[in-house]
Structure 1
Amino acid sequence: MNAAAAAYLIAMLRNRIALFFTFAFPLLFIVLFGLMFGGPGRMNQLTAGVLDWAVGNAAMFGVAYSIVQWRKDDLLRLVRTTPTPITSLLSGWYVVTVGLAIAQAVLFLGVSLLPAFGLTVTSPSIVLLPLVLMVGSLTFFAMGVLVARAAPNPDAVAAIANCIMIPMAFLSGSFYPLELAPPWLTTASRFMPLTYLNDAVRQTLSGGYAVLIPLSALLGFAVLFGAIGLRTFKWADSA
């Protein structure tokens, strides 16, 4: 698992443009919307929404792109000839994904806490945030394995991931408060994993501890997507 994690980390660091936008694009949202609509209370909701979307997007895109690229380069075919199970390979990649999520959280919260934006985090419930990020990353990591199964080439990964994540961001309350949404949208949001990640992150930033239900839902999604992804995993383009 250590070798898999190291290989994944090196590949991520070499793709500097993708790594830059993984941090810069969500941070731009925080800065722009924070300057326009920030302040106590509102900034907590904004930061939570951007953070959970960024973490989910990075987890899904990262593993999906790597799987498709490794499949294209026939690296997965070589891995299959070794005793290394696919779960060990993916576990190593997941460790790096969690590290990336924590780094995103540190950066986004650090900026949001500046006086110009007005984020306030005074509750000890913030200690639950790493756990929330670990579970949320697992869910979207599992979704990324499914995206990799559907993507015919690396260029298609971004298109498929964006078609999933951008609508979900609006429909789950990350960018638009569900309190202002019609009842049908609130009901539909309950079937979206990003809704539960959003709920859990907001709880930890706003002083709440009620994360058991959202984390349980995220784990349920992770088990479902992970089981399908492993069952249908594609080792080679010809498979």
Structure 2
Amino acid sequence: MSAYTALTTAGYRAQVRDAATLFFTFAFPLVFLVVFGLIFSGQEVEETGRPYISYIAPGVLAWGVANAAVFGIAFTVMQWRRDDLLRLIRMTPTPLPTVLTARYVLALGVGIAQAVVFTAVSLLPVFGMELHSAWPMALPVLVLGITAFLGIGVIIGSHADTPEAVAAVANLLMVPMAFLSGSFLPLDMMPSWLRTLSHVLPLRYLNDAVSAALVGRGDWHDIAVGCGVLTGFTLVFGAVALKTFRWSNRT
């Protein structure tokens, strides 16, 4: 068995055997979708005339996928570094890209599974979301989004030394970003200065591109811009992650 296969298999088994991880990866974000979907069921955003579900479902999906990517890799890197597993791996012929690629493939699998579940729930008659003809484009958008947020997770996991620190830093980053990027409330309802601020946040572009693909709240230009900006964020976060990566707490 190759190092890549062994690491991927071990990560998958750890993922499916941890009930808490499965809950916070799938059930927890769905709670937001169900609650907001029921509260605003049948209502429209006054500024645009669009149903709330066209904002809520893609936004919660984007946030849930991004959140899982950040937390999943951050906790893993922190734990492996704290327990000196990374230092042991470094002493083997296994290169760092192999270690991170194994986690990357697992994160992509989790993200795609989340997207399928969230979309299926949103299409239920009680919520009434309607898919746009460009919905297949949501897949490459989500792949780019997961990749960008994995970079953030690696940076957090390389510097936070405890699970509590990982949770604190990741939540401090992801929760405000969710509100400022329009995941829970439409940006059209926010002051102009907040809408301007949201342009520096990667989740804003993931939200916009997913919304354009899934429900047609936007066009091909929004999808292209989202993909381009997420690619840029991926390169920046990836460069920082590789530059600051720590194999052990001793270094």
Interval containing the TM-score (normalised by the shorter chain): over 0.9
For residues 44-193 of structure 1, the aligned pairs below 5 Å read 44-121=54-131, 123-193=132-202
Residue 45 of structure 2 is matched in structure 1 by none
Q: Aligned partners of 1:125, 1:157: CA distance in 2, in Å?
A: 36
> Among 16, 20, 39, which residue is 2:19 paired with?
16
Q: Aligned partners of 1:108, 1:190: CA distance in 2, in Å?
A: 25
Report % sequence identity.
Answer: 47
> Among 24, 33, 41, which residue is 1:38 paired with?
41
Q: Aligned partners of 2:167, 2:199: CA distance in 1, in Å?
A: 25
Residue 216 of structure 1 is matched in structure 2 by 228
Q: Aligned partners of 2:16, 2:215: CA distance in 1, in Å?
A: 33
User: Is the 2:56–2:185 Cα contact (8 Å) retained in structure 1?
Assistant: no
Find the residue that maps to 1:88 and give its secondary structure: helix
Residue 244 of structure 2 is matched in structure 1 by 232
Query: Structure 1: which amino acid aligns with 2:31?
Result: L
Q: Deviations over 1:65-103 (max 9, x none)?
A: 001111122110111111221111111111110111111
Which runs of structure 1 show a deviation greater than 6 angstroms over 4 or more consecutive aligned residues?
A: none
Q: Aligned partners of 1:199, 1:10: CA distance in 2, in Å?
A: 33
What is the Cα-based RMSD across aligned positions, in Å? 1.3
Q: How far 1:209 sits from its partner (Å)?
A: 2.7
User: Is the 2:82–2:161 Cα contact (8 Å) retained in structure 1?
Assistant: no
Find the residue that maps to 1:69 and give its secondary structure: helix
TM-score (norm 2): 0.91
Q: Aligned partners of 1:67, 1:46: CA distance in 2, in Å?
A: 31
Residue 47 of structure 2 is matched in structure 1 by none
Query: Structure 1: which amino acid aligns with 2:27?
Result: A
Count of aligned pairs between the two proteins: 238
Find the residue that maps to 2:220 and give its secondary structure: coil
Q: Aligned partners of 1:16, 1:156: CA distance in 2, in Å?
A: 21
Q: How far 1:41 sits from its partner (Å)?
A: 3.1
**Range that drifts further, 6-15 or 79-88:** 6-15
Query: Structure 2: which amino acid aligns with 1:218?
Result: L
Structure 2 stretches lacking a partner, 5+ long: 43-49
Structure 1 stretches lacking a partner, 5+ long: none
**Range that drifts further, 147-156 or 195-204:** 147-156
